[in-house]
Amino acid sequence: MVEWTRPTSLAEAIAALTTDGAVALGGGTSTALLMKQGLLAPTRLVTLRQVQDLRGVRPTAHGGLAVGAATTLTELADAVRSSYPALAACVDGIGNVRIRNVATVGGALAHADPAQDLPPMLLALDAQVLLAGPSGQRTLPLDGFFAGYMETALQPGELIVHVELPRPSGRSAYLKFTPRSQDDYATVGVACHLSDGAAVIGLAGVAMTPLRLAVPADPGSAAEAAAAAADPLDDLRGSAAYKRAMTAVCVRRAMAGLLA
Ligand SMILES: Cc1cc2nc3c(=O)[nH]c(=O)nc-3n(C[C@H](O)[C@H](O)[C@H](O)COP(=O)(O)OP(=O)(O)OC[C@H]3O[C@@H](n4cnc5c(N)ncnc54)[C@H](O)[C@@H]3O)c2cc1C
């Protein structure tokens, strides 16, 4: 039997999560699947939808945006369409509209499946996360958040409060390569951000965690660096060798498109 808790404040949510078997619920799209497959058996679900501190998108003092963790993917895409168009395009390509209307930014990061699209895009943009838990609040660069396959730096009882995007700069793109259905996870996902002659790429699907790499702002050299950093597994989306080759192709295309 699963109990439900519906906190309205961050303090209540954190307190509810300190009980044994409690799991935070954003949109529930990943959690429901894991429960159905018998991989997760929470005794308490703590829904975050009504926690006001986790909702909304607002400007920061540095000219960027703070995106509340309970913001849905649809709300995120709508909020950033003019300021971070590549991020909006990336989010538009996640799953399908039914998923995007329910899944949240916090859930999309905390789930930490390395094939997800949002993490590499936010890594390329040098986003940070604000976390809050029983011992207080801390800010982490997103690059320090992903700890392993579906593992993060979140401590017991800790929540993502918001994701902070730096002031918009330069040009960005996200290229999702998926030879199967449109709403499938990426075989390889490549985010690319160019600003002031510097290039940063984020990669999905090619390692145990999403990857962030600072690379030369030259498509050929960046492709070579990305393929060297990729450490993919053989799976139903392709062999490791194929994914490594497609990583190079996608990085070259994404960067060449931005430089054209
Ligand atoms: C059919 C389908 C297709 C999909 N296709 C894609 C795709 O193409 N690309 C892609 O990237 N993803 C895809 N996804 C995954 C989807 O993006 C994730 O399911 C979703 O982002 C998770 O968000 P959620 O809010 O529903 O998470 P939930 O299921 O609510 O939570 C996921 C995890 O995050 C934790 N969590 C939630 N919120 C917080 C918080 N604020 N702080 C700390 N921990 C938190 C939960 O405890 C849980 O461990 C797909 C999913 C489905 C079901």
pLDDT in tens, 121-130: 999 999 999 9
Tokens 């409060």 correspond to 161
Check whether domain 171-259 has CATH 1.20.58.220, yes or no:
no
Region(s) of the chain under CATH 3.30.390.50: 171-259
Which CATH number applies to 1-47: 3.30.43.10, 2.40.110.10, 3.40.50.970, 3.90.180.10? 3.30.43.10
Mean pLDDT of 212-240: 96
Q: Which atom of ligand 1 is nearest to the CA of 102?
A: 26
CB atoms inside a 10 Å sphere around CB 138: 13
pLDDT, residue 78, reads 98
Residue nearest ligand 1's atom 43 by CA: 159
- pLDDT at residue 1 greater than cutoff 90: no
Q: Convert the pLDDT of each residue in 75-101 to its tens digit.
A: 999 999 999 999 999 999 999 999 999
Ligand 1, CB within 6 Å, residue ranges = 23-31, 33, 48, 54, 69, 94-95, 99, 103-104, 106-108, 110-111, 116-118, 154, 159-160, 183, 185
- pLDDT at residue 6 greater than cutoff 90: yes
Q: What is the 3-state secondary structure (H, E, C) of 197-256?
A: CEEEEEEECCCCCCEEEEECCCHHHHHHHHHHHCCCCCECCECHHHHHHHHHHHHHHHHH
Q: Convert the pLDDT of each residue in 163-197 to its tens digit.
A: 999 999 999 999 999 987 777 899 999 999 999 99
pLDDT, residue 245, reads 97
Q: Which atom of ligand 1 is nearest to the CA of 33?
A: 53
Query: Which of 100, 111, 175, 185 is the pocket-test mutation for ligand 1 (most atoms within 8 Å of CB)?
Result: 111
Q: Which atom of ligand 1 is nearest to the CA of 109?
A: 34
Quote the mean pLDDT of the chain: 96
Report residue 74's pLDDT band, with 50, 70 and 90 as the boundaries. very high
Q: Which atom of ligand 1 is nearest to the CA of 104?
A: 25
Region(s) of the chain under CATH 3.30.43.10: 1-47
